[in-house]
């Protein structure tokens, strides 16, 4: 794992813990899209979902991040802001037709189902749309039985 991907994972961990101030400090250490991503997560944690999405989009340049990664980050922002239905919708491009599904994306779908059980069936259907056969089955089972942590 590169230092950059490790820090990206740390940014998401901070966001999930609700650490807006720490995300702002992390953003000061980062540059480009990664800084925008950290600040967008901080805004979303504060309940400013639309501002967070605008900030995230402002950091995307040319071909970076890849479309699947940007879709996943849009979904993460919606999730952090408590907009679970739109989070699940935003996650679709990151899943649809993927040969291998990023485990973090599948975990987010299960987390959405756990936070809003009315979305459970949609989350299961979503994760059945991408990844290897084994991943599809494992991720569907995880979304089906997920509970809020």
pLDDT in tens, 38-73: 999 999 999 999 999 999 999 888 888 999 999 999
Contact (CB, 8 A) for 37 and 60: no
pLDDT tens for each residue of 87-101: 999 999 999 989 999
Tell me what pLDDT residue 47 has. Answer: 93
Q: How far apart are CA 133 and CA 38, in angstroms?
A: 33
Tell me: cis bond preceding 65? Omega within 30 of 0 counts: yes
Closest CA to 127 of 101, 148, 146: 101
pTM beyond cutoff 0.85: yes
**Separation CA 101–CA 6 (nearest Å):** 19
């Amino acid at each position: 794992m590169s230092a950059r991907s490790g820090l990206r994972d740390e940014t998401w961990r901070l966001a999930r813990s609700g650490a807006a101030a720490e995300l702002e400090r992390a953003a000061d250490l980062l540059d480009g899209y990664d800084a925008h991503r950290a600040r967008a997560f901080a805004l979303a944690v504060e309940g400013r979902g639309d501002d967070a999405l605008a900030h995230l989009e402002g950091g995307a340049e040319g071909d970076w991040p890849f479309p699947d990664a940007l879709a996943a980050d849009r979904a993460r922002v919606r999730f952090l802001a408590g907009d679970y239905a739109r989070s699940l919708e935003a996650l679709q491009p990151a899943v649809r037709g993927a040969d291998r599904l990023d485990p973090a994306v599948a975990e987010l779908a299960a987390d959405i189902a756990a936070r809003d059980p009315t979305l459970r069936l949609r989350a299961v259907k979503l994760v059945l749309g991408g990844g290897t056969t084994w991943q599809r089955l494992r991720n569907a089972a995880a979304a089906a039985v997920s509970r809020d942590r």
